[in-house]
Structure 1
Amino acid sequence: MSTLNLKPANAPVRAYYATLQKFAKGRFDNEGNIRGAFEDLLKKCAGCPIHRAVPSRDG
């Protein structure tokens, strides 16, 4: 099983945290919003063929 080598300086991680900060300022920090932002992060990081993001079905 392969792992993602993510660091806080990676562009997708920075974008994820920026999105979370926007949600917090607007009081949109509920699970649904955060889940979407995390799914976007996974999609961006799953760009190589050995990683694949599968969204949750209980949304």
Structure 2
Amino acid sequence: MSNRIFTEKEIKRLSANKYVKSVSAKGITYTEEFKHIFIAENEKGKLPRVIFEEC
């Protein structure tokens, strides 16, 4: 876990992402759809950072 705190501007931008279920200053909760995509892509060998950047 990171000690990073999201700004209001970052929270607003993250909230607009279709794969983000909820976001607060301290964390992000992703949708079930994203979790399935993440697992499938990761099993194909795609790096986590790349998956997050693409989604």
- TM range, smaller chain: 0.3 to 0.5
Q: Which has the higher strand share?
A: 2
TM-score (norm 2): 0.39
TM-score (norm 1): 0.37
